[in-house]
DNA sequence: CGTATGGTTGATACCCGTCAACCGGTGTGG
DNA sequence: CCACACCGGTTGACGGGTATCAACCATACG
């Protein structure tokens, strides 16, 4: 279940190689500079492709670093660690098109654990081989830098998000980011099928699971979000955005009056409503 | 005062070129692979060196990106932006040896503003020239990747820090990180001369300035920190670390009993004291 | 001295973490 | 098939930490 070496497992393991050219998230991944031969170049760098089952770990904190990078072809991952006092702290979620393992480059042991939240398919690279290939392949080098910079930008955005004091701002921002990520993959950004638990979200945003649950319900009451188990449907993007920016949701004008929104309990959103 | 082009300013402006070989933070910066000729290579890439006065901006949000990277030779900077609701959000602080401008690569306009918190000396690079030089200079390319990865790691650490719920944990972690940064520069990590205001710290950690002030005072009462205006002196590193990790400061054993620590008001630290 | 900025301190309100109970779904074993 | 345990989610009650607002003080500057 928690094996670090996924190859050892039953229906998880090496799978026949669907090439980069056929990959749906190619343009988010290494072969972005994607003429046919660019793809072939990246294809040759893939050590192997394999499947991970939900709940299996790709690596765990304190495991020795094997100098691998993993491109997620499909599936969702949670990156987390145990904080010094023993609490779960979620460093992030990753999905199709993202790279795993960047954070571990140059380390002797992993600082984070990576676990599959859904069945997933990965492409495994050797990090040193990639670096060496980049020396001769300028577009590849550019692409790697680009991905690294994107990662940096994302992380900065997360920091700013976490700075927001209110649970509503954090959660609304989180949902927006989730939605944006889906859109980037060409999926519908309105319907979000969560792969993580409320607790995971809380451990990511610095909130209690109970607060996540309550806040989602509040969004529902405001009419900007439909919540059904792990499926979120964004009903009012502008309203969510307003909350994420710290504005009063009602003042910002929730989309259509006449929705469930109107019956929302008054006076819950925003400490600035009457300030 | 807020000019984006620092060259226009009175005593700020271009200064004679002290070379990389003579720079005190050389080993934190680009010429890390620092044999004499490595330094010369980097020296040639420096467009110019110049001075900024306290309060001057290096760039401001929404300014067009000029594709420059800046290495801080001395001085402190604050990176910040105005959040959508108009609040100051501090994205980070940078000091000698750090690079400025990485976050803006690939953008048309700056997202953040960078302001000097103290008089500073900068080395200016052209980012495209650097990238091109890296194609022929493998160690330089390595070094750039290294710096980028370090930035990423730092940002992840910040995210985790901001996830911590308590003001004490955040602030203790912040002070630890500050101290570590000074040590990295070869300075004494115990005495910290802050260049930023309490408000800045609060805007960085998601706390109110009043809370920063009170929490510092509490640390003082616990005997692990001496606070005098903007000078902090770490008296009990282990105690601070314990707080940062969320442990009860007293349970973790504040350094020497018999210090001022003992008279600290009971029951303030940690929600887990009696849990 | 007048002003502005930064820091400290106090009173108050309120958000959210914690704890607890409960519920539905899933998997397991008898 | 049912009993049971377990997990994830929801909901309520409660207390504490912290934001907010305000007043006041120190310092710097002209």
At B257 the pLDDT is 42
pLDDT band at B149 (very low <50, low <70, confident <90, very high): very high
Question: Which residue, B153, B271, B259, is CA-closest to A103?
Answer: B153
pLDDT at A4 over 80: no
- Which two three-digit tokens encode residue B126? 């052209």
Q: How far is A19 from chain B (nearest CA, A)?
A: 28
CA atoms within 13 A on the CB side of B15: 17
Torsion angle (degrees, nearest 10) of CA B212, B213, B219, B223: 160
Q: How far is A13 from chain B (nearest CA, A)?
A: 30
Write out which nucleotides of chain D lie closer than 7 A to a protein Cβ.
Answer: 8-13, 16-22
Assess A246–B contact: CB distance below 8 Å, yes or no: yes
Q: In whole angstroms, what is the distance from residue A146 CA to residue A156 CA?
A: 15
**Whole-model pTM?**
0.85
Mean pLDDT of A227-250: 87
Q: In whole angstroms, what is the distance from residue A266 CA to residue A275 CA?
A: 15
Mean pLDDT of B28-42: 72
More confident residue, B180 or B273: B180
Q: In whole angstroms, what is the distance from residue B236 CA to residue B40 CA?
A: 43
Q: In whole angstroms, what is the distance from residue B27 CA to residue A199 CA?
A: 43
Query: Per-residue pLDDT tens for B56-111?
Result: 999 999 999 999 999 999 999 999 998 877 889 999 999 999 999 999 999 999 99
- Count of CB atoms situated within 10 Å of the CB of B231: 11
Q: Scan for tokens 């910079």, then name that residue.
A: A149
Query: Per-residue pLDDT tens for A32-56?
Result: 765 666 677 788 889 999 899 999 9
**Is B158 buried (19+), middle (13-18) or exposed (0-12) by CB count in 10 A?**
buried
At A212 the pLDDT is 98
Q: In whole angstroms, what is the distance from residue A221 CA to residue A218 CA?
A: 5
At A22 the pLDDT is 80
Helices vs strands, H then E, count in chain A: 7, 12
Q: In whole angstroms, what is the distance from residue A190 CA to residue A175 CA?
A: 10
The residue lying closest to nucleotide C24, measuring its CA against C1', is A229
Q: In whole angstroms, what is the distance from residue B115 CA to residue B105 CA?
A: 18
Q: Which residues touch A213 (CB under 8 Å, ≥6 apart)?
A: A198
Q: In whole angstroms, what is the distance from residue A141 CA to residue A67 CA?
A: 18
CB contact under 8 A, A155 and B156: yes
At A25 the pLDDT is 86
Query: Per-residue pLDDT tens for A196-224?
Result: 999 999 999 999 999 999 999 999 999 99
- Which two three-digit tokens encode residue A147? 């991905």
Q: Which residues touch A135 (CB under 8 Å, ≥6 apart)?
A: A141, B138, B141
Q: Which residues touch A168 (CB under 8 Å, ≥6 apart)?
A: A215, A218, A219, A243, A269, A270
Q: Pick the residue from chain A with its C-alpha nearest to B243.
A: A85
């Amino acid at each position: 279940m928690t094996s670090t070496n996924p190859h050892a497992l039953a229906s998880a393991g090496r799978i026949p190689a669907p090439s980069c050219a056929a990959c749906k998230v190619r343009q988010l991944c290494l072969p972005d500079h994607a003429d046919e031969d660019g793809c072939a170049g990246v294809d040759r760098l893939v050590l192997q492709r394999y499947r991970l089952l939900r709940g299996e770990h790709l690596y765990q904190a304190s495991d020795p670093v094997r100098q691998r990078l993993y491109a997620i072809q499909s599936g969702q991952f949670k990156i987390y660690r145990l904080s010094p006092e023993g609490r779960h702290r979620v460093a992030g979620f990753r999905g199709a098109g993202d790279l795993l393992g960047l954070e571990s480059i140059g380390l002797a042991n992993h600082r984070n654990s990576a676990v599959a939240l859904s069945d997933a398919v990965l492409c495994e690279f050797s990090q040193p081989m990639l670096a060496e290939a980049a020396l001769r392949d300028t577009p590849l080098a550019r692409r790697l830098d680009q991905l690294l910079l994107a990662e940096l930008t994302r992380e900065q955005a997360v920091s700013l998000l976490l700075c927001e004091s209110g649970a509503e701002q954090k959660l609304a921002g989180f949902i927006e980011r989730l939605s944006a990520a889906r859109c980037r993959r060409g999926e519908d950004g309105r319907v979000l099928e969560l792969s993580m638990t409320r607790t995971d979200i809380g451990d990511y945003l610095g909130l209690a699971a109970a607060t996540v649950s309550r806040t989602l319900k509040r969004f529902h009451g405001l009419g900007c979000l439909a919540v059904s188990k792990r499926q979120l449907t964004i009903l009012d993007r502008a309203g969510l955005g307003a909350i994420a920016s710290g504005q009063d949701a009602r003042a910002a004008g929730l989309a259509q009056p006449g929705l469930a929104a109107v019956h929302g309990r008054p006076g819950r959103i925003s400490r600035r409503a009457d300030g």
